[in-house]
Structure 1
Amino acid sequence: MNLTFFPEGTTIEILPEQTVLEAAQQVGVDIIATCGGKGRCKSCRIKILEGEFSPPTVQEYKELGEHGIQRQFRLACQTTARSDGVVRIVPPVVERFHQILSHTEKLQYPLDPEISKQAIILPELTQEEQTSDFEQLQQQMTSPVDRIDARVLQHLPALLLQNSRHVTCVCWNQCVIALEPGDTVEHLYGVAFDIGTTTVVGYLLNLHTGAEMAIASELNAQALYGGDLMSRISFTRQDPQGLRKLHLRILETLNRLIDALCEDAYIAPQQIYELTIVGNTCMHHLFLNIDPVHLGMAPYLAAIRQRYVVTAAEMGLNIMPQARIVMLPLIAGFVGADTVGVILATGMHKSRDLKLAIDIGTNGEIVLGTSERLLACSTAAGTAFEGAQITHGMRGASGAIDQVVIDDDVHCRVIGDVPAQGICGSGLVDAIAQMLDTGLINPMGRLLAPQEIVRQGKSLPEALERRFASQGRNKHFILLHGEETETGEPIVITQRDIRELQLAKGAIAAGIAMLMQNLHIEPENLHEILLAGAFGNYIAKESAVRIGLIPDISLERIRSVGNAAGLGSQLALLSQEARREADQIAQMTEHVALANNPAFQHTFAKAMAFPDK
C-alpha cells in the first residue's frame, strides 16, 4: 500500500503489519517519537486525511482523548494502514526558526591550539648525505616533530617531487598529520561541537585568530528513536541495528552542520583540521559507536572517562581525513563532557564564591561549589521542558507560545509573530507561574474549578472564567481559543500538563537540594545561580523561581550564561591550557549519585509541590 505525507507529498510503501512510524523510519521520513514508539506520548501524532486505518488503541484514547480521535488524530506508532492513504505529521518536524541556543560569552584563555601549520622548503641533497625526507622536514620545523602519520608518509616523496619540495606541514601534538602543496598556512580552522540530547550546535573557528567564522545548529536526528536518554538506550537493546542507526544519525547531523558551516564561511571541509566535542555520556558513547547499555543499569559506568582522540577518517566525518576529533573527558555515568564544558566556561573551578550552575534539558546537570570543592549530579527531568508529553507542547520554534501573562485575561507571545501551533517549555513555565499567582492552581498543582476559586474568597474575572472547560472529568484552561491558532484547535493547559511539569521541575529542584544538603548550605549562601543551555537562556527567571524550579534568591543573582557547554568546547579547541584544565575538572568534580537513593526519592516527592506564595 502507498502512504503519502502531506504537505510535502512524500509517498512511501507500507506493509499491513507495519505501523506508520516503522514504515516512515525505514525510508527516512522523519516522525519524532519521544517515548521511543511505545504509545506513551503524543510526539508522533498524525492526522488522517484519506484512507482506511486500524481502529484506535487504548493508548491512543489515553493520549489523544475521545475528542482527538474524533478529529482523526492518531499516533503513528500505534496505527497501521488498511488501504492507500494520506496523512499529515502534526506538528511538522521541519519547524521554522528553531530557537536553538548558540551564542556564548567571551573566551577567557590564551590562544594556543594544539594544531599548527608551517610552510617549508626542503633543500636539495646529494647522494653522499645520509638522511631522509622526514629528517629534513624535522630539521626545518620551528617546533619539535617526532612522528608522522602513516598515510602522510606514504605520499611524502611524491608530494615533495611534484611541488619542488615546497609544502605546508600540518602538525598535531608533535605529529605530522598532513602535508599540503605550497603555502597554505593562512587556512587553519577547527569546529567545536556541543552534542545535546535534543539539539546539536557547531562553531567554526579560525585557529590563527580565535575568531568565530560561522555557527550552525540542528535538532539531534536521534530524537526519532526517543526523546530522552533512556529511550535511546532501550532502542539499542530492542533493535539489533539500534546502536548503528543512532550512531549514523549523529554522524549525518554533524556532517550536515559541517557543510553548512563551510558554506557560510566560504571554506573547504578539507581545511578543518580538528574538532572538539562535548556532550552527555550517552551522546559521547553513541557518537563513538559504543554500546550504551551499561549506562542504563547500576552502577551506570561509562566505557571510558578520559579525554579520547580519534581521526575523522575513523569516524566517517567529511573533513581532512587525519583531522583529530577530541572528545572531552566525562565526570560520571550521567554527568558528561557537557558539564565539564559548563564548569570550564563559567570558571567555577577557579572561583572562591559559592555558585550553582544548572544546565536544564531532558537530562538536567547540576554543579555546586567553589574552587575548593565541586559537586555534580544528573537528574532525569524528562522532555516536558522541550514541549514533549504536553497536550499542545512543541519545541521552541515559529508558532510556539514562549511567554504568557495573565491579568484580567490571558496574553500570549508567539515566536515568529504567527498564528500559534502550540506551547514550548518557557511558555509552559510562564503559564503555570501565572496560574499560580492568580490562584487558578493550588500549591499541590491541582487545577481548580471556577467555583472553588470563588469559594476561597478570590475574585475571578469573567474573561478568565470563560477559559475553563472540560472533557468528561478532565478539566483544562484555554490559553488561546481555536480561532486564534493555526490549527483551529484551542491551545490548553490540562491537569496532566501541570503534573508533567511538576515531575520535571521536581527532579531538578530535588537534585539541587541534594547537592546543597551535601555541602550543608542554604539558598542564602549562594553567591550566584548560573542558568546554562537553551532552556536556561529563554526561561523567565521570576517564573523559574515561582514554580520552585530554582532556589528563591534575588533575581540579580540569577544569570543566564548562554550555551556554556558550547563555550567550553570552543575553549578546549583554542587553548591547550583550557584542555588540560578540562581534564583536571573531570578528576576533581565529585559525583553525587541520586539513583536508588531513598533520600532523593523523599526530596523529589516534596519538590513536586509548588511554593506557597
Structure 2
Amino acid sequence: MTASPALQLLIDLGTTRLAGRLLDAQGALLAEAGLDNPQFVHGTDVIRRLQAATEGAAAELQQQALQAVTQLTAELLRQAGQPLAAVRQGLLAANPAMITLLRGQPVTGLLRPPYRPPSLDGVWLHEAGLPPLYLLPAVSGFVGGDLLAYVYGQLPLVGPTLLIDVGTNGEMALWDGQAWWCSSVAAGPTFEGAHLACGMRAEAGAVYDVAVEEDRLRLRVIGDGLPRGLCGSGLTAAIGAAVAAGLVGADGGLRPAAAIDSNLARYLCQDAGQPALCLYRDARCQLLIRQEEIRQFQLAKGALHAGAECLLERAGLAPPALERVLLSGALGQALAPQTLKNVALLPEYMIKKVRFVGAGVLVGLGRLAVRPEGLAELDALRRAMRPYPLSGTPAFEQAFLAALDFASGPA
C-alpha cells in the first residue's frame, strides 16, 4: 500500500491505560487501540511512581512509557496497514507527572509544594521508532495537557459548563460564562476497575451496567456474551444497584444477608471472611465486589464529588447557573442518572445536567490535529485557565468527608 505522508497519530497517555488513534489528512479515523500502562508495577497512582523515580526507578519508568507509546503506535499502524514513514507527526496528552516521567526529567518538584514540574510548556519529542510527537503543555503541577485536550474538543461552549475527566487523576475544568477555572483530585485507579480482583477494561465480556429487576440483578455485558469482569461503568452501576436494592447501606457497608427480606439476599456472601457482593459465578470465574473495594470506590467518588462542589464554590457560581456537566474518561459507558444519584458521584443538582462524552481527550487531539491554528488556540486556552489547588485545603477536606456516603435507602 502506498504510504500516506500526512497521517496523524494521537496518544492519550493515561496513568492506568493508554489510548490511541490514527487519522488521515482530513481527520478521518483509520485505526484505534489501547493498552495498559506498564508502569503499574511501580504503583497504581502517580505519587507512588514519582516516589519510585526518586528511589532509582526513573530510567525504567521512562523506558516503560516510551515502550508503551511505541507499542501502541505499532498496533495502530498494523491496523491501518501503514508504515511509520506514513505518519507526519503525532500529538500526545497526559497529566504533568506522566509527561515528566516520559521525558526523564527530575520529579522532586511534583512531590512537594508548590508542586510544579520542571516545565509546563509543550515540547516536541523525537525518539527512534516514533514520529515527531508534540507533548501538550500543562496548566499546573496536577492539571495537564489531557484536560486541555478534552476541553479544547468541546469548544465552543454556550453557558456555564463543568467538564470532568474521570480517571486516576480526576481533572476538571469549569467555564463560568466569563472565565476558566480548573483543578484535580486524587481518585486512584478505582474508576478504571483496576483495584478490583475481577476488574477489566471496557471490552468484550466486561459488565458495563447492572440494574435491579424484581428479585435479581440484571447484568449487561459488552458483546452480549458471558461476563468476564467489571469495567469502570459496570462497577459504578453494580454499587448503585446494590444501594437501590438495600444490599449496601448509605455508609457503604454491605448488609447481612439475614437482614434482606427478598431473594436479593442471595447476592450477599463472604469471601475470605470479608463481606462481598457476588454478581455472577460460573465454572470459569466469579464476579465479586468485596467490602474493601466498595470502600475504595467511596474514597474515589467522594474526592470527585467534593472537587466539583469546591470548584463551583471557588468560582462563585450558584448551582442553578450551571447549565451542563460533561463527563469523559474511565467510566467508558453512559450511566443512568439514577445510578449516579444512588452512588452520589456528584452533587445531586449536577446529576440531571450530566452528559457523557466518549474518548474526550482523543476527540480534542483530533480537533487539534486538523486545525492549522490549533496549537495557538490551545495555548490561549491554557493561559486562560485559573488553577485552584484543592489537596489539603479545609474546604475540600470538609466537603470530602461529607461526600463519602451513598444515597440513603432503596431508590
Under a length normalisation based on structure 1, what TM-score does the superposition of the two structures give? Answer: 0.62
Question: Which amino acid in structure 2 is aligned with residue 274 of structure 1?
Answer: Q
**Partner residue of 1:227?**
44
SS state at 1:477 partner: strand
Question: Which amino acid in structure 1 is aligned with residue 235 of structure 2?
Answer: L
Whole-angstrom CA distance in 2 between matches of 1:294 and 1:540: 41
- Answer whether contact 2:326 2:355 (CA < 8 A) is retained: yes
- Answer whether contact 2:22 2:30 (CA < 8 A) is retained: yes
Give identity over the alignment, percent: 29
- Can you list the C-alpha shifts for 1:138-157, whole angstroms capped at 9, x where unaligned? xxxxxxxxxxxxxxxxxxxx
- Can you list the C-alpha shifts for 1:391-433, whole angstroms capped at 9, x where unaligned? 5333334443322122312222333444434322212211111
The reply to whether residue 214 of structure 1 matches residue 31 of structure 2 is yes
**Partner residue of 2:244?**
437
Instruction: Compute the displacement of 1:593 (Å).
Output: 0.5
The reply to whether residue 202 of structure 1 matches residue 14 of structure 2 is no
- Answer whether contact 2:3 2:83 (CA < 8 A) is retained: no
- Given candidates 49, 61, 80, the residue that maps to 1:246 is 61
SS state at 1:267 partner: coil
**Partner residue of 1:478?**
278
The reply to whether residue 266 of structure 1 matches residue 81 of structure 2 is yes
* Structure 1: runs of 5+ lacking an equivalent: 1-183, 454-459
Question: Which amino acid in structure 1 is aligned with residue 175 of structure 2?
Answer: G
* Greater fraction of residues in helix: 2
Whole-angstrom CA distance in 2 between matches of 1:527 and 1:514: 17
SS state at 1:535 partner: coil
Instruction: Compute the displacement of 1:518 (Å).
Output: 0.9
Question: Which amino acid in structure 2 is aligned with residue 285 of structure 1?
Answer: T
Whole-angstrom CA distance in 2 between matches of 1:538 and 1:295: 33
SS state at 1:466 partner: helix
**Partner residue of 1:601?**
397
- Given candidates 220, 223, 232, the residue that maps to 1:425 is 232
- Answer whether contact 2:232 2:330 (CA < 8 A) is retained: no
Whole-angstrom CA distance in 1 between matches of 2:234 and 2:82: 39
Whole-angstrom CA distance in 2 between matches of 1:491 and 1:265: 36
The reply to whether residue 374 of structure 1 matches residue 180 of structure 2 is yes
- Answer whether contact 1:300 1:333 (CA < 8 A) is retained: yes
Whole-angstrom CA distance in 2 between matches of 1:562 and 1:468: 33
**Partner residue of 1:446?**
253
**Partner residue of 1:60?**
none
Change (3 A) 1:268 1:497: closer
Whole-angstrom CA distance in 1 between matches of 2:230 and 2:7: 39
The reply to whether residue 295 of structure 1 matches residue 110 of structure 2 is yes
**Partner residue of 1:581?**
377
Higher deviation after alignment, 593-602 or 545-554: 545-554
Higher deviation after alignment, 401-410 or 465-474: 465-474
- Given candidates 512, 533, 543, the residue that maps to 2:329 is 533
- Answer whether contact 1:331 1:591 (CA < 8 A) is retained: yes
The reply to whether residue 390 of structure 1 matches residue 196 of structure 2 is yes
- Answer whether contact 2:258 2:265 (CA < 8 A) is retained: no
- Answer whether contact 1:201 1:218 (CA < 8 A) is retained: yes
Matches within 5 A, 1:29-44: none
Question: Which amino acid in structure 1 is aligned with residue 151 of structure 2?
Answer: I
- Given candidates 287, 290, 296, the residue that maps to 1:500 is 296
SS state at 1:383 partner: helix
Whole-angstrom CA distance in 2 between matches of 1:479 and 1:522: 40
SS state at 1:440 partner: coil
**Partner residue of 2:138?**
330
- Answer whether contact 2:305 2:345 (CA < 8 A) is retained: yes
Instruction: Compute the displacement of 1:300 (Å).
Output: 0.9
Whole-angstrom CA distance in 1 between matches of 2:396 and 2:372: 38
- Given candidates 352, 364, 367, the residue that maps to 1:571 is 367
- Answer whether contact 1:332 1:591 (CA < 8 A) is retained: yes
Change (3 A) 1:187 1:390: closer
Size of the aligned set, in residue pairs, is 407
The reply to whether residue 592 of structure 1 matches residue 404 of structure 2 is no
Whole-angstrom CA distance in 1 between matches of 2:53 and 2:15: 15
Whole-angstrom CA distance in 1 between matches of 2:167 and 2:4: 39
Whole-angstrom CA distance in 2 between matches of 1:228 and 1:554: 27
**Partner residue of 1:342?**
150
SS state at 1:470 partner: strand
More relative contact order, 1 or 2 (CA 8 Å, 6+ apart): 2
SS state at 1:190 partner: strand
Question: Which amino acid in structure 2 is aligned with residue 549 of structure 1?
Answer: L
- Given candidates 190, 214, 220, the residue that maps to 2:8 is 190
Instruction: Compute the displacement of 1:538 (Å).
Output: 4.5
Instruction: Compute the displacement of 1:536 (Å).
Output: 5.1
- Can you list the C-alpha shifts for 1:290-335, whole angstroms capped at 9, x where unaligned? 132321222211111122224x2xx33334xxxx422221111010
- Answer whether contact 1:306 1:583 (CA < 8 A) is retained: no
Higher deviation after alignment, 295-304 or 463-472: 463-472
Under a length normalisation based on structure 2, what TM-score does the superposition of the two structures give? Answer: 0.91
Question: Which amino acid in structure 2 is aligned with residue 385 of structure 1?
Answer: F
* Structure 2: runs of 5+ lacking an equivalent: none
- Can you list the C-alpha shifts for 1:80-120, whole angstroms capped at 9, x where unaligned? xxxxxxxxxxxxxxxxxxxxxxxxxxxxxxxxxxxxxxxxx
SS state at 2:188 partner: coil
SS state at 1:559 partner: strand
**Partner residue of 2:91?**
276
**Partner residue of 2:168?**
362
Whole-angstrom CA distance in 1 between matches of 2:272 and 2:85: 61
Matches within 5 A, 1:41-120: none
Whole-angstrom CA distance in 2 between matches of 1:227 and 1:397: 21
- Can you list the C-alpha shifts for 1:175-206, whole angstroms capped at 9, x where unaligned? xxxxxxxxx99632221221111222222223
Question: Which amino acid in structure 1 is aligned with residue 211 of structure 2?
Answer: V
**Partner residue of 1:317?**
129
- Can you list the C-alpha shifts for 1:372-406, whole angstroms capped at 9, x where unaligned? 21111111111121223335333334443322122
- Given candidates 334, 340, 343, the residue that maps to 1:547 is 343
Question: Which amino acid in structure 2 is aligned with residue 288 of structure 1?
Answer: R
Structural RMSD (CA): 2.4
Higher deviation after alignment, 376-385 or 548-557: 548-557
Instruction: Compute the displacement of 1:601 (Å).
Output: 0.9
Matches within 5 A, 1:157-172: none
Question: Which amino acid in structure 2 is aligned with residue 286 of structure 1?
Answer: L
Instruction: Compute the displacement of 1:259 (Å).
Output: 2.1
Max Rg structure: 1
